[in-house]
Amino acid sequence: MTNGPTQIVGSIVDSLKAQPLSLALVVMNLGLLGYLYYTGAQAATFREKELTLGYEQRANVAKLLAECNPAGRPAQEH
């Protein structure tokens, strides 16, 4: 029973040796999956930073507008 997985792996390796193009495609697919994971993770990190900066900017603008016309004081007309 212990030779089952070993025989399966051996037959897969033998078939990939017989067809190097299949091995190349497997390697390329694994590389593509790794690249897509990396770019997705980087995009998520960038998006999180962008959202944080956007919220901070809105808070700063709201604070600035609140200081320009303090509550209880009428707005000046020009």
What pLDDT band is residue 67 in, cutting at 50, 70 and 90? Answer: confident
Question: Which range among 39-43, 64-68, 72-76 has the greatest average pLDDT?
Answer: 39-43
**pLDDT category, 72, cuts 50, 70, 90?**
low
The answer to whether the beta carbons of residues 2 and 8 sit under 8 Å apart is no
**Is a pLDDT exceeding 80 seen at residue 78?**
no
Q: What percent of the chain has pLDDT over 90?
A: 46
Give, for 12, the enclosing helix (H) or strand (E). helix 3-18
- Of 35 and 5, the one with more pLDDT: 35
For residue 41, give the amino acid letter.
A
Instruction: Reply yes or no on whether the pLDDT at 1 is more than 60.
Output: no
